[in-house]
Amino acid sequence: MKRKPRIRPSILFFLLVTVYWLLVTNMCLAMSHTIAVLKTRSLPVYENALQQIKEELKKNKFIVYDLEGNKAKEEAIFSNLRRQKVDLILSFGTLATQVAKEKEKVVPIVFTYVLNPVASGLLSELGPTKTNLTGVALDIPIEEEFSNFKLVVPTLKTIAVIYSPKETGIIVEKANAVAAKMKLVLKPIPISDSSEVPQKLELLKDADGLWMTADSVVFTPRNTEYIILYTLKEGIPFMGASEEFVKAGALCGKALDLETINKQTAELVKTVLAGKNSGEIPIATPAKVDLVLNAHTAEIINLPLSSAALKQAKVVFK
C-alpha cells in the first residue's frame, strides 16, 4: 500500500504565511481609507491628475487642502487634517511636499509632480527614504536625454549648459559624469544672477548644442526668449526641458506622459495603503517619456532630421 506524500512543515508554513498575506492585502485594498490631498496651488494639471487618481481609488474618501502657494497656511491646514485621522497624505508639487514632510512624521506621504527633489534639498537621493515619504519625481534620466539629443544631432560632441550652481549644481555635476561615460563633453556655464545670461550666450559658439535644466534663475521669460532667438540665429541645436519650449522654438525636448505619471502615483498609493512601508519604496521616475521635435527650427538652423529621429518623435511641430 502506497503512503500518501506528506507536506514538509516548512513548506506548509510558507504556504500558510503566503495565504495570510494575500488575505490581509486584499482586505486592506477592499477597505475604505481617508486620503488627505495637499496641493501647492490650484492648477489644471493637478486637478486632472487628481480626477484620474480618484478613478483608480474609487472606494476611498478624499479630503482636499490647498496651500494656494502660501506656506503660512500650513498650521491651519494641518490642524484640520489631524482631526480627520487620515490614512495617507497625497501631496502635489514641491511646496506641498516640503510642508507635508516637515509637519507629519508618522502618516505615510506619497508625493507627485515634484521636479528635481534632490537638487531642491527635499531628498538626499532617488532611493528609499527610510522615512514616511515616497512618491513620483518628474526627473528624466540624463542618459536618456543625452541619447535623444545625439539621435537628433548625430555630430553632437560638446554640450553646453547654462545654470545656477545654487539651484541646479547637483544636476549639472551628475550630467558631467553621465556625459563622460557617453564619451561626450559637458561645457558648464555658471551664472549667479539671471541678468548675466545674455552676455554668456557668446560662450555657446564653442558647443555643438545647448542642453536645458529646469533652472528658474536662468530661464526667466525674458532670458528664454533671448536663448531661443540666439540659438536660432547662430544655428545652435537647443534641447528644451519640455514640449512648450520646443513649440516656442527649441529644436527638441521631452514630453512627459501625464496619464502614466498619474497611474504610477495611484499605484504607489495602493501599495502603501495595502501595508507596504512607504520608506522602503524607492522614489519612482516617469515610466514613459516622449521625444518632441520642431521641424521648422531644424530647417532654420540647417539640420536635416533623420528618419530615426522622426520615427521616435511623438510630436513634430512644423
Write out pLDDT tens, residues 220-253. Answer: 999 999 999 999 999 999 999 999 999 999 999 9
8 within domain boundaries: no
Q: Is the pLDDT of residue 9 over 80?
A: no
Query: What gap in Å lies between CA 175 and CA 166, rounded to an integer?
Result: 16
Give pLDDT, residue 31: 72
Give pLDDT, residue 124: 87
Q: Is the pLDDT of residue 20 over 90?
A: no
What total number of domains does the chain contain? 2
**Phi/psi at 281 (5° precision):** -95, 120
Nearest CA to 242 among 150, 160, 145, 104?
Answer: 145
Give pLDDT tens digits for 176-200: 999 999 999 999 999 999 999 999 9
50 within domain boundaries: yes
Q: Is the pLDDT of residue 28 over 60?
A: no
User: Is residue 114 domain-shared with residue 176, that is, in the same domain?
Assistant: no
User: Is residue 280 domain-shared with residue 179, that is, in the same domain?
Assistant: no
User: Is residue 123 domain-shared with residue 266, that is, in the same domain?
Assistant: yes
User: Is residue 238 domain-shared with residue 109, that is, in the same domain?
Assistant: no
Please give the residue range of the domain that contains residue 187: 142-255+290-317
User: Is residue 74 domain-shared with residue 126, that is, in the same domain?
Assistant: yes
192 within domain boundaries: yes
4 within domain boundaries: no
84 within domain boundaries: yes
The CATH number that applies at residue 104 is 3.40.50.2300
% of residues, the chain, pLDDT over 70: 91
Over residues 287-297, the mean pLDDT reads: 95
**Phi/psi at 295 (5° precision):** -65, -30
Instruction: Report whether 201 contacts 221 (CB < 8 A).
Output: no
Give pLDDT, residue 151: 98
75 within domain boundaries: yes
21 within domain boundaries: no
Over residues 260-279, the mean pLDDT reads: 97
Give pLDDT, residue 125: 85
Q: What is the DSSP letter of 132?
A: S
Q: Is the pLDDT of residue 24 over 50?
A: no
2 within domain boundaries: no
Count, residues in the chain: 318
Give pLDDT, residue 121: 86
Residue 53 neighbours by CB under 8 Å, 6+ apart:
90, 262, 265, 266, 269
**How high is the mean pLDDT of the chain?**
91
